[in-house]
Structure 1
């Protein structure tokens, strides 16, 4: 039987802004599906129907593409943490909502894969862009729990717990859950159950 080559997206005219946005969206999909090694100029070009030369024109090099992707995903992570901060100020169900926001950012948003990539590549400077969002999150949790004993160190530990659990779940969670016969919500459900116990001050 004859074999058929995969259908590639038809090449079309697009603005420079559209081309970069489509390239970054494709690069994010490649990262989530195949890891950092899959984020190449050639793969992005195939995904969006653009020649290798045009991809180079918009990103300069493979390193330029990867840097642009990192910056885009870090902005998205900071925005997701900002949404979590806003929700903490207005939502009575904030603890569970906060866990969902952070887990979604690291999992579906790809921040877990991105963070692993940055750390393994020793690109620690890129993580500075997230610093203020994390500090804002600490401040927002403080505002929700003004009576919490030893407030500052305890709240920083709470944020650390959520972030590390979300990161681990995004990177290796699917494999561990499969080994343990757990559903895909297991880790976030566990953190959401623990969080109120850490936030609510003990009865005197």
Structure 2
């Protein structure tokens, strides 16, 4: 009776685009399971069955791979924020629906961890593509609430409040909720309950 051994991923011919895409997918999985330190050329190469030199050829360095990963994840965050804008424009369940949309955007695909990684790296240029999506979110809320001339500043502050809360939830929400015996949606509901008062500031 023979014993079947687990084989390493077989090397196969890939186009340059396929190789880069597979490497970025692997790097994302490593980031989510092991944090930024786990995203190395050798780990990704072993995971997808290519040589270290092959990844050097495609990305230039570990920093190049990490930059490609950030770009891919930022694109996903942009899509999630765009979906939040569309959801807000068509859904009458605000403010909880608004909060859910932004919280979901930061939770999807490890976006919260990505934002932390970018902030800690010190190179905030990777977040520049998010600028338009965030501004579109402010515009969508203005359209929904009506812009009375003073609303835009309050709404910008409200988006900051929601986004910071969503970022914290994505990073440390589950263990904090467990410590405090709170349900999974506790953070979202706190923000949603505070949001009307927050938006009303300065409107009188």
Match of 1:65 in 2: 65
Matched with 2:86 is 86
> Alpha-carbon deviation of 1:169?
0.8
Q: Shift of the alpha carbon at 1:7? A: 4.8
Q: What is the Cα deviation at residue 159 of structure 1?
A: 0.6
Unaligned residue ranges in structure 1 (runs of 5+): none
> Superposed, which structure 2 residues align to 1:108-123 within 5 Å?
108-123=108-123
Match of 2:171? 171
**Map of 1:146 onto structure 2:** 146
1:43 is matched with: 43
> Contact (CA 8 Å) 1:81, 1:134: kept in 2 or not?
yes
Greater mean alpha carbon deviation, residues 132-141 or residues 7-16: 7-16
Q: Residues 132-170 of structure 1, C-alpha deviation per residue, up to 9 Å, x if partnerless?
A: 111111011000001668311211121111100110011
Deviation at 1:70, TM superposition (A): 0.9
Any conservation in 2 of the 1:77–1:130 contact (CA below 8 Å)?
yes
Task: Rate the CA distance shift 1:6–1:142 in 2: closer, same or farther, 3 A.
Answer: farther
Question: Does the C-alpha gap of structure 1 residues 60 and 78 become closer, same or farther in structure 2, counting only changes over 3 Å?
Answer: same
Q: How many residue pairs are counted as aligned between the two chains?
A: 201
RMSD between superposed Cα atoms in Å: 2.6
Counterpart in the other structure of 1:26:
26
How far the C-alpha of 1:100 sits from its partner, in A, is 2.6
Kindly tell me: are residues 148 and 127 of structure 1, through their superposed partners in 2, closer, same or farther at Cα, counting changes over 3 Å?
A: same
Q: 1:170 to 1:53 in 2, by over 3 A?
A: same
- Going from structure 1 to structure 2, the CA distance change for 1:6 and 1:113 (only over 3 Å counts) comes to farther
Residues of 1 paired with 2:196 and 2:57: CA distance? 51
| 1:61-94 deviation per Cα after TM superposition (whole angstroms, max 9, x unaligned) | 1010011111111111111111111222222235
Q: Which ranges in structure 2 are unaligned for 5 or more consecutive residues? A: none
The answer to whether the 8 Å contact 1:30/1:38 transfers is yes
Q: Which residue of 1 aligns with 2:74?
A: 74
Residue 18 of structure 1 deviates from its aligned partner by 1.7
| Superposed structure 1 runs of 4+ greater than 6 Å apart | none
CA distance, structure 1, for counterparts of residue 5 and residue 45 of structure 2: 16
